[in-house]
Amino acid sequence: MPKKQQEYQAIAQQILQEVGGSNNIESVTHCMTRLRFILKDNSLPDDQKISEISGVIGVRRAAGQYQVIIGQTVTQVYEQLCQLADLQQTQVIDENLDLDLATKTRPHLTFKSIGSAIMNKLAGSLTPLIPVLVAASMFKMFAAVLGPSMLNWLSATSDTYQLFVFVGDAGFYFFPILIGYTAAKQFHAQPLVAMFLGAIMVHPTLLKLVTDKKNFAIFGLHMPLVNYSATIIPIILSVWIMSYIERFLKKWIPASLSTIFVPTLTILIMLPITLCIVGPAGGFLGKYICDTIIGFGKLGGIWSILAIALIGALWELLVMTGMHLVLISAMMMVIAQNGFDNFTILGSIAASLSVAGMCLGAALRLRDKKQKALAWSYLIASFVGGVTEPALYGIAVRYKRSFWGMMIGGFCGALYAALCHVKGYVLVPVANFMSLTAYVHNDPTNLINGIISGVIAFLVAALATYLIGFDKSPKVIHELKPVEG
């Protein structure tokens, strides 16, 4: 057996023993960084002992699960665990915070659970679109860098330049169709019918009515003139309502007729609801959210600058509680509808690079050879791989003082970006050095200041972590609110 495989087997063996053996495991799966157990008796595992296992970053008890944080090698450990315990392997899971995986029941309705459900549905509808947004943003970046505004390798009239421009625009323009599909998956509606509804919202005839400001009625109801291209909230709200209408029709229409009448009547009913009520309301809400966030960035006063710096300081705390999903959704909305974000993205990028800086400071300060080696591995995972969770739980949470070093670095990096009025134009969903490409635009100064802000975040976090030092005894990692591993 290869040496690495032996190491994974040893880790799995110790974990299996500490959780009470295979007889205490009801089921186990894994996400990107954690083993997720549903145990028959949750009192058997000793959090401290499991945290001290070589290869384990920490533990967490949440959502009825006993979660063991492994890091990037979780898949290999999981495979060995399943072999040792004679358990069937399952697919990698995503965190679903509105469903208790231990009881398979929905939580009681409270303001908190409703807010969490809304956040999860919004994030679930938008997160699958990240690859499209990245590709579209990159083509926009190619046009900006290679075009006449920067390197001038491509003229504004060249076919290649125009290709990059319209391909980049397409990724955002057809949002209602793309989100129609992802939202349908979230609300358990027919995806293709939802995409059809999204296509109606960006049809050239409808857009011409809006451009020409021509009055139009749908079954006698006045239709507000709204351009839905590159919008997010209108289609999500529409698909949510559509899911109930679709289920109602399926319940009452005979199966022999449902293929024809369910999709037809669903769209027929949704036309006035979407184009006269929900769509305009969602468009107003989306514009209000975007204008508010952009307005914060445009204020330029001390409160705006301080708010951006605080996002840089607190971003990783939001990541650990899952609240960052709200800001990420807003960030995606702002970039899609306005072309840039000058608020949230500044703090998030600075914070991501401050995690890598914290790892460097820890690697230089730690004396224990094993922990020092882990710190170097966390640095590579964060700065190159864009995976910050091992560093967060392996250093920031384990050694509480290092949290301050990371927060100071994020604060300083975001503060510089705010003072220089930097804007983020490209949505780069990774927390590594490539996140700095978000600042690429026609203005080279924006990119330069953006890179400087990232360097400041990294170096200040490293220096602060080194100077502040560590607690004498590391803390056991558990009972933190969950976010996807």
- Residue 217 pairs in a beta bridge with 222
Quick one: tokens of 33?
């960084």
Quick one: tokens of 162?
């125009």
290 is catalytic: no
Q: Is 189 left (phi over 0), alpha (psi -120 to 50) or beta?
A: beta
* DSSP H or E segment with residue 59: strand 58-62
From 31, 276, 290, 412, the catalytic residue: 31
d(CA 144, CA 165): 9
User: Which residue shows structure tokens 């949290």?
Assistant: 403
d(CA 339, CA 375): 37
d(CA 180, CA 232): 9
How many CB atoms are closer than 10 A to CB 99? 15
Pairing of strands 34-39, 58-62: unpaired
* SS3 assignment, position 156: coil
Q: In what order do the strands lie in the sheet with 65-69?
A: 25-30, 34-39, 65-69, 58-62
Which segments of 366-429 does DSSP mark as H helices, in order?
Answer: 369-383, 389-391, 401-419
Closest CA to 343 of 284, 335, 285, 412: 335
407 touches 108 (CB < 8 A): no
102 touches 64 (CB < 8 A): yes
How many CB atoms are closer than 10 A to CB 416? 24
d(CA 334, CA 289): 8
Burial status of residue 13 (CB atoms within 10 A of its CB: 0-12, 13-18, 19 or more): middle
Angle at 323 between CA 130 and CA 125, to 5 degrees: 35
Show which residues are catalytic. 31
